[in-house]
Each structure stands twice: as C-alpha cells, then as structure tokens.
C-alpha cells in the first residue's frame, strides 16, 4: 500500500497504479476523505472501468450518509455546504453511470439518483428519477413498457394505472420488495414536500400502489424499513398500557425541564461543549427548518478521571435527571418483574432520548417514521403545548405538561405549532422504545404483548389497526380488514 501511494505521488497520472491503489482500499484502514479522493482520481483516469466507477459512486454515497449523520453544529458552519457539494458530485457520477449500458436499465441507480436529488431540494427531478426506477423495476411485471421513458406517460395517466384495483399482484423477491419500498417511500416524501392538490393526488396513488403491492398494510401506514412479526398497530397507544414506563418519565418532568433550561443557558452563553450537541432539522420536512431545534441525549456510560483513577460515571452531570428517568423507565421495560434489565448487547434504543423544540408557527409536514419496530413517547415539557397539535393517522392530540403521548410513528403524522410568541417554543422529550412484541422473551415489555386480556381491554386509545402481520407481505393487504376502529 505504501509503495503504491509513493508511486502515484511520483506519477499522479498513472492509470494502472491508481487502479491498483483503489483495489487495495478495502484491505486497509484508510480515512474516508482519502478513500473518496483516491477513488475519484482513479475513476477519472480509468473511465472505461465500470466496476471502478460504481465503487467511486458507492463511496461518495457512503460519505454523504456519514456526514449527514453528524450534528451540523458539531461540524461547523460550513458542514451543510460540504454535504451539498458531496451530493452534487454523487449526482454527476450516478448520472454518468445511468447513461452506460450497465446502468441504463438499473432501477437501483435511478432510485439512488432520486434520493440524491430529493436531498438537494430538486423535487421535480427526484420525482422523475424515482418514477423511472419504479417503472424499470415493475414495468414487465405489470405488462407496461419497462423503460425509463414510460414514466412520462404515467405522470399524465395516473400512477401505475390499474394496480390499486388489480387482484393479480406481481410477486416480488425479497430484494425487489426492499427496493420497491425505498422507491415508493422516496416518491411519497417528494410528493408530500412539494405540496399542492395535484401532488397530494399523486401521493395518494403512491400509497395505493404500495398497499396493492402488499408492501404497506394501509395507505397511512408507510415505513421504509420493515421488521417481521405480528405487531399491534395503534395510532395512539393507551398510556396505562405502559404505566410503569410512562410514570418514570412523567414524574421527572420538573427535573427534565430544569435541565433543558440549563442546557439552553449554556448555549446562550456560547459554551461550545454544549452548543455542539444542538442541531436544526435536516430532513426537509419542516416548513421552517431553523425553528426546529433538537438535541440527542445519550445515557450510556461515560468515564472520568478522579484522583488519578479512571472512574465509571453512568451519565453526564448536566443531563443526569433526564438519564435517570430514561434508564429507570427502560430498566423496567427490559427487566423481569421488579428486577431492572438491560439489553445484551445494547440495542439502538437503550438509553437514548431527544429534546425537541419547535418555534411559533412551525409545521412539521406529514411524513412517516423509517421503521415499524418502535413506539414513541412524547412528554410535554413547556411552551405552547396545549395549543400545538399532533396528528397521527386520523387521530389528533394536544400536549399537556407532564403527560406523555404514546403513538406509532410509522403511521403518517404531522405537528402544527400556533404562530404565537406568548408561550414560547413547544418543548418535549422524545423517547423511542422497541415494540412490545419485539422485546426479549420474559421481559416486562414482551409480557405486555403476550397479555391477551390486557390487549383486549384496550391497548389502543384510538385508531386500532389490529395485529398486522409484517412477516413477508403476503397477508398485509387483508390483515386490516374489519380491524379498523376507534376506541
């Protein structure tokens, strides 16, 4: 590797040397920016090497996803511009690949192009790319032209004509289902963000197509990633169903609010050690993205040096009250009976919470969460709680201080905050937990799902979609018939 690095340094236009260097990147621990730079140069010197061009594109996209996952304030003021330039480079590379014989009829490439254009704010271009992707994926199965040009006709005639009413659903492999989910979810996001009556009609056709293809159980229930299992689906879950978990959060409201004020005071005083944790919304679903400020609160173990010794500290001092409440709540959920528990290994939900502030006049547009495997607890802390409205499916709720709203965010939901400065931004604590049916056997969380009497007595407060079988999609279209009711 070092010899090749030296060789390309001495002769930076040697295509063969750069190709060899690029081929060895996977065998070495190379910093991401260096990998991207090497592959970019290697691809430019070897334009006929299709595999190398695809590798360069994938590396660029991986780098974009990594950078997007970083809180933008942590990375400095130029972070968003850096991500935008990376996406623009990725678009250029993917477009060139889509013009080659190897990529011209690839729905995966068109889906990737749609995702990049969508995140650059080019919604019309993204709609076309996603549309081409779905036609390339399903055109032959639906007996329509399986080429990139067919989408222009679909735009005029209606989304995948006849599919929603057809009982002859084309069978999809697992790989095709995953790709179709990504394409339809992307199209949904693009159309919802564009707004307007025409785009809402098109979005409804996308939802109908997803249901007809048995990718989604209902037009309002549209996650991008699906975890298999029979899961109870409610727009609003009854708080009493999760009583011990909810109680731990609600009784800590005053402490959590006081710590929130302390954190914001540190930001106001310009203390970078706290300011770096706060970020504005980057998902493009907020009408006023700068008015939606968030902070993740990780409650995993940390360490301090005390008296020359490395001492374990369970959570940071300035969020101790938040973490105490969150870990106690989750300790019961993962525990057995009175014994607190903790997942081994630790999953992505354990000990993680989020503070969310929405300014006056904010609107988080209709959207769905990415997965079907979680339940959301949103605890009212301060501000315009009782004036702000959460819509989940067809259910509507307003927050109250010290009271949690429990809902399924894989259903379509949105938030509206009144345009009034009198009571300040709406502030809530958000905690995601794994769905009870997916909890470890024997845990208190799993016992909730296995208690038939408790389920029948009213686990759903409103919008009961019944037990949805997400196993393989074969029953999704029928699993909800007769189960939609309001409790």
Contacts of 477 (CB under 8 A, 6+ apart): 169, 211, 212, 214, 217
pLDDT of amino acid 271: 93
pLDDT of amino acid 150: 58
Token digits of residue 150: 């067919």
pTM (2 decimals)?
Answer: 0.83
pLDDT at 29 over 80: no
Token digits of residue 399: 């927050």
Q: How many DSSP H helices and E strands does the chain contain?
A: 18, 14
Domains of the chain: 2-212 (1.25.40), 231-479 (2.60.120.330)
Nearest to 297 by CA among 255, 238, 269: 255
Measured distance CA(464)–CA(462) in Å, rounded: 6
Alpha carbon distances (Å) from 297 to 27, 322, 353, 370, 387: 35, 8, 5, 20, 26
What does the pLDDT average to over 354-381? 94
CB 334 within 8 A of CB 445: yes
pLDDT of amino acid 326: 94
Report residue 245 CA to chain centroid gap.
24
Q: How does residue 12 score in pLDDT terms, banded at 50, 70 and 90?
A: low
Q: How does residue 211 score in pLDDT terms, banded at 50, 70 and 90?
A: confident
CB 394 within 8 A of CB 309: no
Burial class (CB in 10 A: 0-12, 13-18, 19+), 441: exposed
pLDDT of amino acid 483: 31
pLDDT at 259 over 90: yes
pLDDT of amino acid 74: 46
CB 466 within 8 A of CB 200: no
Do you know the residue count of the chain?
A: 487
3-state secondary structure of 225: strand
Token digits of residue 298: 């990780």
pLDDT at 373 over 70: yes
Q: Could you tell me the end-to-end alpha-carbon distance of the chain, in angstroms, rounded to an integer?
A: 65
> Between vectors from CA 282 to CA 276 and to CA 283, what angle results, nearest 5°?
145
Alpha carbon distances (Å) from 77 to 58, 88, 290, 296: 26, 19, 14, 19
pLDDT of amino acid 167: 52
Contacts of 227 (CB under 8 A, 6+ apart): 371, 372, 373, 438, 470
Contacts of 218 (CB under 8 A, 6+ apart): 211, 465, 480, 484
3-state secondary structure of 315: coil
More confident residue, 14 or 275: 275
Which of 56-60, 242-246, 261-265, 436-440 comes out lowest in average pLDDT?
56-60
Q: How does residue 38 score in pLDDT terms, banded at 50, 70 and 90?
A: confident
Contacts of 323 (CB under 8 A, 6+ apart): 297, 299, 314, 315, 316, 351, 353
Q: Residue 272 forms beta bridges with which residues?
A: none
């Amino acid at each position: 590797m070092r010899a090749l690095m030296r060789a390309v340094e001495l002769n930076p236009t040697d295509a063969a040397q750069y190709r060899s260097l690029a081929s060895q990147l996977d065998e070495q621990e190379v910093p991401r920016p260096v990998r991207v730079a090497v592959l970019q140069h290697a691809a430019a010197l070897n334009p006929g090497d299709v595999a190398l061009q695809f590798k360069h594109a994938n590396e660029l996209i991986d780098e974009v996803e990594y950078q997007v996952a970083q809180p933008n304030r942590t990375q400095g003021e130029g972070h968003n511009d850096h991500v935008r330039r990376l996406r623009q480079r990725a678009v250029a590379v993917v477009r060139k690949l889509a013009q080659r014989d190897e990529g011209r009829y690839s729905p995966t490439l068109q889906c990737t192009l749609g995702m990049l254009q969508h995140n650059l704010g080019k919604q019309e271009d993204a709609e076309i790319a996603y549309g081409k992707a779905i036609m390339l994926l399903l055109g032959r199965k639906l007996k329509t032209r399986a080429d990139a040009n067919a989408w222009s006709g679909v735009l005029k005639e209606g989304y995948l004509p006849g599919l929603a009413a057809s009982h002859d659903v084309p069978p999809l492999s697992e790989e095709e289902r995953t790709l179709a989910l990504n394409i339809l979810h992307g199209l949904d996001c693009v159309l919802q963000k564009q707004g307007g009556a025409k785009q809402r009609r098109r979005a409804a056709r996308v939802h109908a197509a997803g249901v007809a293809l048995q990718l989604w159980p209902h037009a309002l229930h549209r996650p991008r990633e699906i975890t298999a299992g029979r899961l109870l689906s409610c727009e609003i879950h009854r708080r009493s169903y999760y009583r011990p978990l909810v109680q731990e959060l609600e009784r800590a409201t005053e402490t959590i609010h006081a710590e929130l004020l302390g954190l914001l005071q540190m930001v106001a005083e310009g203390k970078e050690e706290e300011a770096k944790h706060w970020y504005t919304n980057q998902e493009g679903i907020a009408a006023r993205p700068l008015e939606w400020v968030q902070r993740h609160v990780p409650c995993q173990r940390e360490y301090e040096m005390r008296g020359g010794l490395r001492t374990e500290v369970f959570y940071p001092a300035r969020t101790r009250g938040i973490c105490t409440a969150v870990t106690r709540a989750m300790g019961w959920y993962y525990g057995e009976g009175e014994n607190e528990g903790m997942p081994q290994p630790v999953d992505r939900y354990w000990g993680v919470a989020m503070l969310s502030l929405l300014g006056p006049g904010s609107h988080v547009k209709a959207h769905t969460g990415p997965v079907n495997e979680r339940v959301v607890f949103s605890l009212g802390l301060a501000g315009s709680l009782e004036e702000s409205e959460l819509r989940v499916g067809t259910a509507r709720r307003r927050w109250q201080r010290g009271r949690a709203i429990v809902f399924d965010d894989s259903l379509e939901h949105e938030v509206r905050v009144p345009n009034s400065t009198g009571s300040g931004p709406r502030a809530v604590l958000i905690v995601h937990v794994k769905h009870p049916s997916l909890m470890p056997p024997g845990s208190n969380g799993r016992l909730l799902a296995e208690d038939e009497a408790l389920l029948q007595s009213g686990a759903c407060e409103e919008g009961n979609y019944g037990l949805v079988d997400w196993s393989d999609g074969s029953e999704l279209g029928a699993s909800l018939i007769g189960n939609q009711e309001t409790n």
